[in-house]
Amino acid sequence: MKKMLIAIDDTPVSLKVVEYAGQFSGAGDLQISLVHVLPNLPAIFWDEGHILSEVEKSERKKVVDKWLADRKAKMEPVFKKAIDVLTRMGVKPQQVQTKSISDSTDIADSILEEARDGGYQTIVVGRCDHRAKHILGSVSNKIVEQGRGMTVTVVE
């Protein structure tokens, strides 16, 4: 079975990435994973420099869990739209899975780790960094540089 990881977020370029990947819908043995890396935990949730009591730990965990759940819920319509695009292009719903990564400190590293651990042959990412001095954005550039052994496609 061929496996393709499509890195998506809630930006317009993500749908272009999905549409590009959908061109390969003819491959019946293709498994597609839509992967989103959640943003880093905001500083307001970090440890304040003192050892937390069990009550403080419990309260903080509730707030952090709610923050993560809200971020994941925000991605559900994005995942749904991406799956709709893929199915319109001929990909069967059972060929698509979704995943949110929530313990990331580096988006590119998280995508690469997921791709390696999951045995993906192809990574498809978007280019969101439009600074004139760079050909690729920092995330896509790192994935291209470190994605040895995999096909890496960058869609703009």
Tokens coding 51: 């050892």
Pairwise CA distance, residues 27 & 41, whole Å: 38
pLDDT (0 to 100) of residue 68:
87
Residue 107 has pLDDT above 80, yes or no: yes
Write the Ramachandran bin of 149: left for phi over 0, alpha for psi from -120 to 50, otherwise beta. left
pLDDT at 140: 83
Domain boundaries, the chain: 2-155
- Reported as a pLDDT band with limits 50, 70 and 90, residue 13 is confident
Q: Which pLDDT tens digit goes with each residue over 111-145?
A: 999 999 999 999 999 876 555 444 456 788 889 88
pTM of the model: 0.83
**Contact (Cβ atoms closer than 8 angstroms) between residue 126 and residue 136:** no
For the residues 22-44, what does the mean pLDDT come to? 81
Q: Which region among 62-71, 97-106, 122-131 has the lowest average model confidence (pLDDT)?
A: 122-131
81-98 per-position pLDDT tens digit? 999 999 999 899 899 999
- pLDDT mean over 59-72: 86
Token look-up 């040895």 returns: 148
Q: What average pLDDT does range 60-79 have in this prediction?
A: 89
Topology adopted by domain 2-155:
Rossmann fold (3.40.50)
% of the chain with per-residue pLDDT over 90: 42
